[in-house]
Amino acid sequence: MWPVAIITFYEGVRSRVLYGIFIFSLFIMFLSVIFASFFMQEIGKVAVDFNLSSISFAGLLISLSLSVGLISKDLDKKTIYFVLSKPISRAEYIFGKYIGLIFVIFFSYIILGILTCIPLLFLQSEYQLYFDTFSWLSYLQAIYFDFLKLVVFNSVIIFFSTVTSSSFITMLFSVSIYIAGQTINEVVNFISVNMVGLEMSATLKMTVQTLKYAIPNFAVFDFKVISAHGLLISVEEFFIFSGYGVGYALITLLLAAVIFQRKEFL
């Protein structure tokens, strides 16, 4: 598994796409300095939210650009023959690819996190009054959970990569799941609230319940607003959310490994 993870990491960090995303994020982050200055109040909250959003957006772009083609490219170019001719099982290949990719994202998040500190430190020194509730720990907490969101999202991308060999279909399904995952909480709440007093059909109830657990709930990893207010979650919540993310990714990858095991490479 580790040899695959190592080459995936090397390939990922040397990809030109990654540099393009970094430059774009850098531009957006420094734009936050100008953007935050437009506000007469809450400058600190706007700056934190803006920088966390740019990290999140960059993370999403990295995932979509690197992860979607990760396995399909190996199948298209037949590199898979070279890798699987070594004593590497198909499950190890899936997990190795995933771990390499997660390391690339982790590495990118460290750089992006450090880069966002520059505009934040500048704004903090300029507008000290508006940073009274700001907490670096809370900021780090938001970055950590955003990273965890990508841990889950990339497992979903890998899963679809094993279902289809087409990058386009993988992208289509993954983006759909991402959008559904961002809104599933609201949809479930909306249906429950609107169904009060009305009898929900058993089929609809079952569909909603199934979707609630099948689709990853990305909203639980969104700590941007909490971080903007400098708040921290309890240790118990921290482990519950982390466990949910890691558990979901693990189950998705195991399913991906089972599907990949059955594949033939003609």
Partner 1 sequence: MIEVVNVSKMIKKNNFRNIKVEILNNVSFRVRENKIVSIVGPNGAGKSTSIKIIMKFVRATSGSVKVRDGVKIGYLPENPYYYDYLTFRELLRFSTRAFKVDSRSAARQIGHLSERVGLSHCLDKRLRTFSKGMVQRAGLAAAIVHDPDLIILDEPMSGLDPLGRRMVFDLITDLKSQGKTVLFCSHILSDVERLCDEVVIMHKGSVHKELAREDLIRAQKQTEIVVSDDPFVRKQLLASDMTFEVTDGFLNVYVLAGEINNALNILQDNNIDIVMIKPSEITLEKIFEEITV
Question: Of 34, 40, 78, 235, which one interacts with partner 1 (CB under 8 A)?
Answer: 78
Within a 10 A sphere around the Cβ of 107, how many other Cβ atoms? 14
Say whether residue 137 binds partner 1 (CB under 8 A).
no
Answer for which of 27, 82, 168, 213 binds partner 1 (CB under 8 A) is 82
CB of 27 to partner 1, least distance (A): 25
Non-local (6+) Cβ contacts of 150 within 8 A are: 59, 60, 62, 63, 105
11 CB contacts (<8 Å, ≥6 apart)? 100
Residues between 226 and 265 that touch partner 1 (CB under 8 A): 264-265
Q: Which is nearer to partner 1, 84 or 232 (CB)?
A: 84
Which CB atom, from 6 or from 255, has the smaller least distance to partner 1?
6
DSSP string, 94-159: HHHHHHHHHHHHHHHHHHHHHHHHHHHHHHHHH-GGGGTT--HHHHHHHHHHHHHHHHHHHHHHHH
Q: Please identify, using beta-carbon distances, which residue of 98 and 241 lies nearer to partner 1.
A: 98
User: By rule CB under 8 A, what string of x and - marks binding of each residue 3-32 to partner 1?
Assistant: x--xx--xx--xx-----------------
Which pair of tokens denotes residue 140?
């780090």
Q: Which residues bind partner 1 (CB under 8 A)?
A: 2-3, 6-7, 10-11, 14-15, 77-82, 84-88, 264-266
